[in-house]
């Protein structure tokens, strides 16, 4: 049996049963091998932009006797994937900017899939905002703490026929102060994940508590600095971030 990290195992748990999987940036090819061993997927297409990782994936696929079930393709994102060829697309272990680039460049292919499993390692707020504004719905979220790092991940699907939404539309549509509150809530949910917050995810709670201490320490140090335009602006930024953090922590008190 192939051994994979808790991060990848949790991402794999978001893949629906009986699908054809496209693993983008497959690296060693371990996730499709693991899912086939679990008899969770029918077959897979393992893709990577670099020849080296793809060769390693081929070796591992052969080693585990999965040659008949896993294809390998050299591909920049989903460029080598045909529309409708995969039910589920996994994009894990890369920066949020690259995740958004893959979604944008392969828009037709990604929108045609039944689901996408995304595990961006940065720019979480930007990714969630992109999804909301481009017709995607987040179905589920998970979070893992492994080797000193926090890894949020999500399963999403494209809502056929739905209009793109704006940040203002992402929550309830009201006017005045209520509208500002809704925009603030949207920002909090983009930063930390609506499902994780609503489910009071314990790993996210741990992350929020640590982040709160970091923001407080930064703010204390800034308040001790000689007053200047730059320091004042930075204090405002930290206070805003601290406010979002505290709004997220409030979900755990409800």
Other beta carbons less than 10 A from residue 249's beta carbon: 17
pLDDT band, residue 182 (cuts 50/70/90): confident
Digit-coded pLDDT (tens) for 26-43: 989 999 999 999 999 999
- The pLDDT of residue 106 is 97
Q: pTM value? A: 0.91
How would you classify the pairing of strands 41-48 and 19-24?
Answer: parallel
Digit-coded pLDDT (tens) for 190-217: 999 999 999 999 999 999 999 999 999 9
Residues 164 and 161: their CA atoms lie apart, in Å, by 9
23 has a pLDDT exceeding 50: yes
231 has a pLDDT exceeding 80: yes
169 has a pLDDT exceeding 70: no
- The pLDDT of residue 133 is 96
Digit-coded pLDDT (tens) for 130-153: 999 999 999 999 999 999 999 999
Judge contact between 200 and 252, C-beta under 8 A.
yes
- The pLDDT of residue 173 is 42
Angle at 128 between CA 178 and CA 206, to 5 degrees: 85
Mean pLDDT on 85-95 = 96
Digit-coded pLDDT (tens) for 49-64: 999 999 999 999 999 9
- The pLDDT of residue 171 is 46
Average pLDDT, the chain: 93
Residues 33 and 57: their CA atoms lie apart, in Å, by 10
177 has a pLDDT exceeding 80: no
- The pLDDT of residue 160 is 78
């Amino acid at each position: 049996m192939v051994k994979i990290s808790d991060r990848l195992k949790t991402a794999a748990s978001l893949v629906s049963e009986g699908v054809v999987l496209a693993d983008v940036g497959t690296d060693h090819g371990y996730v499709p091998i693991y899912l086939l061993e679990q008899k969770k997927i029918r077959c897979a297409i393992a893709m990577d932009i670099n020849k080296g990782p793809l060769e390693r994936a081929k070796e591992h696929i052969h080693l585990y006797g999965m040659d008949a079930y896993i294809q390998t393709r050299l591909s920049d994102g989903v460029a080598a994937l045909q529309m409708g060829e995969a039910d589920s697309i996994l994009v894990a272990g890369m920066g949020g900017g690259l995740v958004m680039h893959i979604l944008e460049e392969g828009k037709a292919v990604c929108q045609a899939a039944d689901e996408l499993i995304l595990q961006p390692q940065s720019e979480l707020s930007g990714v969630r905002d992109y999804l909301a504004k481009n017709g995607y719905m987040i179905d589920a979220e998970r979070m893992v703490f492994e080797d000193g790092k926090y890894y949020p991940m999500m399963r999403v699907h494209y809502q056929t026929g739905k209009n793109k939404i704006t940040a203002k539309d992402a929550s309830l549509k009201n006017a005045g102060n209520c509208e500002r509150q809704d925009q603030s809530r949207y920002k909090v949910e983009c930063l930390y994940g609506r499902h994780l917050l609503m489910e009071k995810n314990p790993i996210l709670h741990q992350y929020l508590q640590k982040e709160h201490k970091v923001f407080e320490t930064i703010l204390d140090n800034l308040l001790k600095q000689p007053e200047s335009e730059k320091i004042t602006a930075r204090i405002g930024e930290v206070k805003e971030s601290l406010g979002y953090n505290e709004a997220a922590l409030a979900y755990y008190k409800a």
